Amino acid sequence: MKFAVELAQILAVLFAAIGLFFTGFQMWQANKQRRISRVDDARKEFYSNKLVQDLYYRIEYDQFEYGKDFHESPDEKTLDYMLSIFDALAKQIEMGLLSERDLELMSYEYRVVYRNSEMEKYFAFLDDWYNHNELPSQAFKSFRNIGSTL
């Protein structure tokens, strides 16, 4: 009789452990799906905006030029919007809500924009502007931090 009670206790603990394992696995899967959804939502926002797409393809094919006519132009607003999409994802990576691996859905687009030589000129202007206006941070700081690691 004592053996049956001990066996029942062992089985109860074993079933509880299996239940905890499956609960943990389901939570891990749900968290992974939420992370992918965040990136996919940003991807949809990126690809559903015609102005962003037009500017992105100009950047991708090295047809975008940063110059004096850029400021206060529709391209400036569109580029800032595009960079804000990437910056929001980068901030989530810095906060631990996403990983760089999660960004794989948009890593090509991210790299194309980050590595474009005209972006360097734009960021140099923004850095000067931020310094001149004594702003405490950099424009699109998270985008730039994460971009340097991709």
Confidence of residue 113 (pLDDT cuts 50, 70, 90): very high
CA 93 to chain centre: 6
pLDDT digits (tens, 9 = 90+) for 58-107: 999 999 999 989 999 999 999 999 999 999 999 999 999 899 999 998 99
Contact (CB, 8 A) for 102 and 35: yes
| pLDDT score of 29 more than 70 | no
The predicted model scores a pTM of: 0.80
The pLDDT of residue 33 is above 60? yes
Q: What's the mean pLDDT in 124-135? A: 94
**Minimal CA–CA distance to 148: which of 120, 124, 122?**
120
